[in-house]
Structure 1
């Protein structure tokens, strides 16, 4: 999960920009827990929570905590490097099947999908966490304890999310909870870094399953509700020339010179347009090239990241980059004294869509009401998560936390503490049931037998 901005509960009029990760931002507002939530959704969540089957599931989550911790350790210690999530995918698929899903499969890109059929099946709700971590192959992912705290790369982001939705499935089975809608429990690949949300993009591709609403589980705590997708464009830009001796070939094009000019022109103009309006960022993050101090390089490349929740602002900064690159290319070719022209390769390596699910939308209001039910003030956020894709496609979507407390995401010292972690599953269940519809008709055992033949 890539997290940069916090928007407090709707009662707040001003925006508060922070740089801490999501785990550091689970702070309770001083407003009342129901601020900004429509009464009908507060009543809906209250009614759901009062159902005997839901109460049973709530208690089940508490009793299940020892097994949930074992599942977390098991999955954390199953490496899932970028683009190599297959081993964890197979293990997670087996766990979902054992938990009681009606059918489980691994799709073409290694997403794990478990279907739990609804009584009506006229609607499909996705509940999802991502399988991948940011850590390369060979990273030590053994879980270590310091008191009650678990330390391991990926233990919170997003392995805890996987175990949370697995526990929700177990709880629904144990409490004989049936829904009107079909529910897809998904472990998605490719959320982090250059994965570029590829798992969810594939899931929601044209010709894929029709999805009516989407709940991503990422991050910890029970206050945050991400309803605005932070979009990003990422590029690798490579200037190429013939290369040669620094003295003998002097006068040929120099890729480093062009790269330096491109960076200067881009950052100078980008600075101007990002000082006002919606928060928009840019970063020249990686630079490489060259072979020796006495050699003119044959190539010079950089990787750039740009982010904004505004598609228009993101495109504006993108256009400044393209113009800067071409200006640098032309200037370097204009001053050469010998040899062939410099060339440039502009490759987009990341494209995360932006957009928002309006705060008044049912799924956001339900998430807020469920948070309020826990007597916690809901916080409306913007972040880059797997919810970006459904949001951009117009599918109502949010990202909510998995409970507990954590920190150090994307570092070798990542940690997670089971501080009433069961509250995370309880909130997830309430939001899921509000979206999927709780079947209150015939006896659950009879419904289950009929619908799952």
Structure 2
């Protein structure tokens, strides 16, 4: 008995040493992401902020804060579970119309699109937030306030984003800001989970509106600039057999055995190729199947998630999964003593493209310049957001935050605090105006000219 503590200590030391060694092996040098910006973009932002109309819009955002808070609560309390965003879409469309958009419509997949015409319309800039939340139907989404903090599922991700771009539209209208380019304010469906970015994929489909640059608004704060899309492939793999009694049918194919082999072969090979280069991840996240301890299962399935900002690396890991599944299928069928062969169904349930908008691109440079103007150090990031799709299509795109601070995303106790939240709207407006161009005829004291709109 006296030897047990010493033995446990030895085991723990061994585990710690092994963990440290593995972590060291998995450490990949990161490419430094500098926030250097060309002076011309700094000058561009300064010229914009000197405009009376822009100054007026900045003040409008502050004056509108009580209404913006109410809009935020109203939208949060309209459930918007995956694939069931319709009710929120209808309300958001009505809000956009009331805010002054020239035309508002809900498309075939329930995206809300509000168009604000530019003077020439030679260019189109999208400003977008997503309508859906991760929470299933029946979730209590009533907003609760404790002090200055708002609590509710989805209040930050991404209902705050929807509210922010709605406020930007209101500010542009009240300050009579006109742009050269057309602007599309979009509430998109299908950003979360198995939604697979279907809203933005539909928006940017062949035959859809031509989009020249894309500004997604997701998350809080005013420092992050996501310009690299973290792509993902997701699969549901199901092995199927006849099933039967564990004793009486012994010798038939066993789907669980094949699944176990597939997981082993996949993770063993994936481990080798993901220890170097761009960070690439893989996870066997969900498994299921079987009916009883004394029954050979008739099916066994798993769901796998793999991610990388490198399309090449992502495809490499994908191929390893396909090979592992086929190897496991062949080996299990080779072991059978009776009955039909095992079959397998490999279904892709998620495909988020990856890629990046280069740091030197005008949109990224402008986002950096705007962030620095607000006296905040830009954080250049990689993430999986709606910007993935335009980035993969070669459309300059970034994702920026909506202001304020928050936490608990995807949890029932999600929260958001209005800590100078108006700065989020100011930042969105400035990035938008650098891309869309401020019409020289803009006059904060003038009534909008219908000939322009």
Query: Shorter-chain TM-score: which interval?
Result: over 0.9
- Whole-angstrom CA distance in 2 between matches of 1:127 and 1:331: 52
- Whole-angstrom CA distance in 2 between matches of 1:277 and 1:16: 10
1:424 aligns with 2:439: no
Alignment partner, residue 69 of structure 1: 69
Alignment partner, residue 4 of structure 1: none
Alignment partner, residue 142 of structure 1: 142
Alignment partner, residue 362 of structure 1: 362
Alignment partner, residue 160 of structure 1: 160
Alignment partner, residue 334 of structure 2: 334
1:15 aligns with 2:30: yes
- Whole-angstrom CA distance in 2 between matches of 1:176 and 1:212: 23
What RMSD over aligned residues (CA atoms) do the two structures have, in Å? Answer: 1.3
Alignment partner, residue 120 of structure 1: 120
Contact 1:190 1:198 in 2 (8 A): yes
1:399 aligns with 2:399: yes
- Whole-angstrom CA distance in 2 between matches of 1:442 and 1:291: 69
Alignment partner, residue 412 of structure 1: 412
1:447 CA displacement: 5.6
Alignment partner, residue 319 of structure 1: 319
What CA deviation, in whole Å up to 9, does each residue of 1:292-333 have, x standing for no partner?
111110000000000000000000000000000000000000
- Whole-angstrom CA distance in 2 between matches of 1:166 and 1:366: 22
Gaps of 5+ in 1: 1-13, 18-28
Contact 1:178 1:448 in 2 (8 A): no
What CA deviation, in whole Å up to 9, does each residue of 1:265-313 have, x standing for no partner?
0000000100000000000000010111111100000000000000000
1:85 aligns with 2:100: no
1:300 aligns with 2:300: yes
- Whole-angstrom CA distance in 1 between matches of 2:430 and 2:132: 26
Alignment partner, residue 17 of structure 2: none
What CA deviation, in whole Å up to 9, does each residue of 1:51-80 have, x standing for no partner?
100000000101111110100000000000
- Whole-angstrom CA distance in 2 between matches of 1:161 and 1:16: 30
Contact 1:227 1:399 in 2 (8 A): yes
> Superposed, which structure 2 residues align to 1:212-227 within 5 Å?
212-227=212-227
SS at 2:449 equivalent: helix
1:187 CA displacement: 0.1
- Whole-angstrom CA distance in 2 between matches of 1:390 and 1:70: 32
> Superposed, which structure 2 residues align to 1:35-46 within 5 Å?
35-46=35-46
Q: TM-score, normalised by structure 1?
A: 0.92
CA 371–318 in structure 1, closer or farther in 2 if over 3 Å, else same: same
1:450 CA displacement: 1.1
- Whole-angstrom CA distance in 2 between matches of 1:273 and 1:15: 17
SS at 2:305 equivalent: strand
- Whole-angstrom CA distance in 1 between matches of 2:282 and 2:229: 17
Contact 1:364 1:398 in 2 (8 A): yes
- Whole-angstrom CA distance in 2 between matches of 1:278 and 1:426: 34
SS at 1:448 equivalent: coil
Alignment partner, residue 4 of structure 2: none
1:284 aligns with 2:284: yes
1:441 CA displacement: 2.5
What CA deviation, in whole Å up to 9, does each residue of 1:175-223 have, x standing for no partner?
0000000000000000000000000000000000000000000000000
SS at 1:398 equivalent: strand
SS at 2:382 equivalent: strand
Alignment partner, residue 380 of structure 1: 380
Alignment partner, residue 15 of structure 2: none
What CA deviation, in whole Å up to 9, does each residue of 1:246-281 have, x standing for no partner?
111010000000000000000000001000000000
Alignment partner, residue 253 of structure 1: 253
What CA deviation, in whole Å up to 9, does each residue of 1:81-117 have, x standing for no partner?
0000000000000000000000000000000000000
Alignment partner, residue 175 of structure 2: 175
1:449 aligns with 2:450: yes
Gaps of 5+ in 2: 1-28
